Chains A and B, each alone.
Chain A
Amino acid sequence: EIVLTQSPATLSLSPGERATLSCRASQSVSSYLAWYQQKPGQAPRLLIYDASNRATGIPARFSGSGSGTDFTLTISSLEPEDFAVYYCQQRSNWPSYTFGQGTKLEIK
């Protein structure tokens, strides 16, 4: 099983700041990695797929990069609605799409 490790577990920032979230895979997943955002009481929402492609309707302040085992989600300038939990997910071995443990982005 491919294990995804996200860091940091919690990130405390202020609106307007830049956020950088990391996801590391236990083995190469090529570019088959996605990022989801989840707010309390809601289902996750797909933000980025295949490492760097924004999903439909996702603002340009969200960007993804990386390949192989190391990936990054960047939020260029935090808006109040961006404070949430973020998960990475790999689809390298269908259909066992494992998730990372999440990074909580909280208001400082």
Chain B
Amino acid sequence: EVQLVESGGGLVQPGGSLRLSCAASGFTFSSYDMHWVRQATGKGLEWVSAIGTAGDTYYPGSVKGRFTISRENAKNSLYLQMNSLRAGDTAVYYCARGDILTGYYSYWGQGTLVTVSS
């Protein structure tokens, strides 16, 4: 059974840093592109970052230069290092697996809440 379990969320002050983790199981982690998607309370979904199987990384302009996605295939783990956090980064952060054939997110974690507030 495919499982994605996020951790590392919490309360952080503006300007602070936080590192999210996503533990994957039930599939060959190294064979899949992985993504982070966030959702502010009551709002829609926003793609935050992606990492390919070769370790290539991608970000939207809203987080580029502040967030870093990485993976550790030996530990079946995905990470998101978030620096210079702002109030607008407050959201539930989901990790999601990109389907090999279609690229869509057929599996998601349960999410971890990040709150940026003083």
Contacts and interface: CB of A to CB of B under 8 A. Distances in A.
Contacts of A98: 47
B60 A96 contact: yes
Contacts of B47: 95-99
B110 A43 contact: yes
Given A96-B58, A96-B60, A46 B106 contact: yes
A34 interface: yes
Contact of B111 (A1, A43, A49, A94): A43
B103 interface: yes
Nearest to A97: B47
A98 B44 CA distance: 11
A50 B44 contact: no
B102 interface: yes
A52 interface: no
Interface of B: 33, 35, 44-47, 50, 52, 58, 60, 94, 98-99, 102-106, 108-111
Contacts of B35: 95, 97
A55 interface: yes
B45 A95 contact: no
A-B residue pairs, 6 tightest by C-beta: A95-B50, A43-B108, A99-B45, A34-B104, A101-B44, A95-B58
Contacts of B46: 99
Most buried by B among A1, A45, A95, A102: A95
A1 B30 CA distance: 29
Contacts of A71: none
A91 B47 CA distance: 11
Given A45-B108, A46-B104, A95-B52, 15 more contacts: A34-B104, A36-B45, A36-B105, A43-B109, A43-B110, A44-B45, A44-B108, A49-B99, A87-B44, A89-B105, A95-B33, A96-B58, A97-B47, A97-B103, A101-B44
